[in-house]
A and B are shown apart, each in its own frame.
Chain A
């Protein structure tokens, strides 16, 4: 009927978390190869992760590093070589060079284009289909109508994020480390990471006197995320009515338990919407979701506004 997926960075999180609300798991943190035991950069952990997911009756997709430099291509190639020997249900790429590497290696598994793949149109989706891409994650700037247009006119699966922070920026170096004592001593990129990203970091701009807009962004080191959590729980009926079928909860950077709490709410809401049942009262779900969102909720760009706006019950 529909697929609900989320992301998990490593084996420990996979084993300790509750991901039972999801049909599929994107394994790996595509933003940071240094993230501890990251599936995206540890070929030796792929089989265990894959088996765990498949044993739960879920699909397993492998995320490949999003912004590899020339020095990264060898190890990214090693990860790909290992992955292609395993029955992953799909591999996710963000980088067109990595897409080319997959094709050069004879990849026959489905390929998903990730959020930093800059997919804006159906015409571009058609070009990427010729390179083996079967699913695209349209740029978050697109409206729901545009997302649907791409799905219909390129005849391709589209991944529709329904909850969680919106990836806004990705960089090849770690902003947290660069502004730490270690980074000042040249530690960045030399395997000396002490994982300060386990603490929440935020960028803020407001001033008490109101002379600056009160804007917040979350920073995970190599990625900057929206301050607010995208929330579409009130709009399941509309999503189902648009023929969209592949939904996603962004989990990277969130505390343990986030994916479980959010996932069960959306499993229920989407199941009702797809079954044509009355949606019921969203207030309890919204209260829970708002409680998990330090800076509040938004709809991203889905309703043709800038990313921070929320349409629905006043949040």
Chain B
């Protein structure tokens, strides 16, 4: 009897609570928690609210929609080009490897660049566009001082902006990777091997790290510069510098050290090392190396190798673990650059005076 009453009482309770839960319109909440907030989640709830708001803002933003459309179109384009013309080439190309799925990401029939080229090219643009007005726009709209007058730690606004950017980028990249995988599955009719699948996942994660570097760099600029346009331009300038001008400069330097035909092996080795290390500070070069090592299992080394080192090597593809080991320095470098940008934006932001506008 008691039990029955209790049950009825609880059912009444839920009956009261349910319509309320449905009726409240709250555009911020994606993953709404219906149950009363517990103490542990209470501490993170403001931060969660901020991240949710940032994600909502990104997704509603035309800038994001346009870029997303651009990248998806590029991916679709390459995918169809690869699948229609290059199918036979792909399948017949069994000379070195039989990683069909990886070929989807790396090979193209020549009309359009391959998928990885698009990611490497548009990824930075995407990162910059998500972050270049993160702080400056809040400042210009006068919302920054209003938000910072609330009882939230000052760094959580930076963290929320960054985390929201990462989440949006991750969702997008994983979606695209799975899309390519799925299309490949339909076209080829064979499932990817575990090795291939893992490689693609690792590649996706690393490309997210790469884009998050650019995101962080642009957040740094948005903290530093009051004008969003200035910060966007600085981000693009850095990107152009690394993709166009830095290789030119590196080339000039390398030319000066070019050894003659009859130089000693030591001199040649030094030259090759110099050539290798000079480009190692370029984030895009780091990412290119990561891409090639992860997506092309037959890549055995990224730097110069001497013939002695090559001796006894069996010409076969590397297992995934070895490939990851190969790009570990590059990965660490990228992560370090990302953290540096984050650190500087932190330093600039934490001591900053927050005026209402300008």
Q: Do A and B come from one complex?
A: no
